[in-house]
Structure 1
């Protein structure tokens, strides 16, 4: 529960980008094919409509009955990308960059 809650509040993947391959209608909006859609995981993980009024608070007990109960059966727990069981994609970057030393061979 603690690990899930840490991943919810501080996900290693903070944004998911997808390209739409054909026109699609989402509610009242029609998105044309070729458009890139960004999902901001940080905003999804702290959305009070999905997680309750205490969405910004550290409360591991949210996960005491599993992920699906914590998210009201919504696919909104995305710590490593789309869905809770996706393989980790290492998208975290060093804060001050990575120092490289190049040698001529």
Structure 2
């Protein structure tokens, strides 16, 4: 009987580990790198220099803190400013 209980406990342990949601990974945006989302929906990153930084900043706007970026079902890139986390820190729009 002890062997059966031990085997059952060992089988249950991995399933409990898989039930926990992984913590969201930080999105690493680096200095001196430009990130692009082109007209065909492809993403690119570019190494940037400082020789034309003034031209780059012309017409640019700061992204507000608390902004969520996501790809919709239609393949378009969207952004949402406003709440996206529950009071306990869980993502509001998750599959749970």
TM-score by length of 1: 0.24
TM-score by length of 2: 0.25
**Structure of greater Rg:** 2
